[in-house]
Amino acid sequence: MAHPAGPVEPVRFTKNMTFFSNRKQSYEKDNHTLRLTETLDKPLVFIFAWLQASEKHLAKYADFYLDQGFEMLCVHITPWQLVWPVNGSQKVAADVVKFLTNNAFPEGIVIHGFSVGGYLWGECLVKLHADPAGKSVLAKIRGQVWDSLADITEIPVGVPHAVLPHNPTLQGVLRNYINYHMKLFHEEATQYYVKCTHLFHYEPAQCPALLLVSKTDPVGTEKANNRLRSIWESVGVKTSLKCWDKSPHVGHFHKHREEYIDLLLAHLRALDLPMYNRKAKL
């Protein structure tokens, strides 16, 4: 299923969502409902990106997933949208839920999230659990992958790390400010982090999960991810965890490329995706 040589051209879907596809024509949609004018005939991988992720970096994941026969839709939030969720990340989550609710996805959905992308999916879960159609939407999700997943308690570490990767002094200043912000703005921000983190842990999508972490990641820690695995296993979510001895935050794909791809392929092929079921019957 190799796609034509050359870079995949990303197409802006909304302000915070970008499609990566091999199609010569981009997907048309109703701008109000986000309903596509034609049903996706391939499984969709929904990427929940890390802060400050570049399209160049995301295109490497697109190369992999498009080669496997998926379409890829990427959603991201800015640091501002993260620290002011009511006017930021929650509005992005509303668009994600609108898209998931108003489209069919007969070939299924896989979620692949990074770092604070887990928090954004948590905001989506809050909206899905409040929506009468939420259960049917969650049933469309056949598998999930979480790379360098950042527990919400690590926001003061993660945001400075993402925004100022080469300036430890300013990282410290920003870290102090975010700690202050989270204490001061409990009603406007912190209460929402707590609520969506609880749903992410205890009422997740009921499909197999793969967690990818490293011992040296200060943001997506091994301890927090092991705790998450235990909780998910306790609520019936089959969860695998791979922990590398040394690998940077959201850098596992680059640092351990072959092993990362092998883990992804094994995970994807074990999912209840029609594409793989058809192949198995041939």
Averaged pLDDT for residues 31-49: 95
In a domain, 164, yes or no: yes
Averaged pLDDT for residues 46-67: 93
Cα–Cα dist 125/226, whole Å: 21
In a domain, 126, yes or no: yes
In a domain, 270, yes or no: yes
pLDDT band at 279 (very low <50, low <70, confident <90, very high): low
pLDDT score of 9: 74
Per-residue model confidence as pLDDT tens digits over 106-131: 999 999 999 989 989 999 999 999 99
Q: Which amino acid is at 209?
A: A
**pLDDT above 50 (res 6):** no
Using CA atoms, how far residue 275 sits from 65, 86, 280, in Å, is 13, 38, 9
**pLDDT above 70 (res 202):** yes
The total domain count for the chain is 1
As a whole number of Å, the CA-based R_g of the chain is 18
pLDDT score of 194: 76
Range of the domain at 40: 10-274
In a domain, 282, yes or no: no
Cα–Cα dist 29/220, whole Å: 35
In a domain, 80, yes or no: yes
CA dihedral angle for residue 81, residue 92, residue 119, residue 150, rounded to 10 degrees: -60
DSSP lists the bridge partners of residue 17 as 14, 75
> In this prediction, what percent of the chain has a pLDDT beyond 90?
61
Tallying the residues shown for the chain, one arrives at: 282
Per-residue model confidence as pLDDT tens digits over 60-91: 999 999 999 999 999 999 888 887 888 888 99
Better-predicted residue by pLDDT, 213 or 184:
213
Q: Which amino acid is at 130?
A: A
In a domain, 3, yes or no: no
In sign, the C-alpha dihedral spanning 269, 275, 281, 282 is negative
In a domain, 139, yes or no: yes
Q: What is the domain-level CATH number for residue 93?
A: 3.40.50.1820
pLDDT score of 4: 45
Quick count: other Cβ atoms within 10 Å of Cβ 23?
Answer: 10
pLDDT band at 156 (very low <50, low <70, confident <90, very high): low
In a domain, 29, yes or no: yes
Q: Which range, 61-75, 151-165, 178-192, is most confident?
A: 61-75
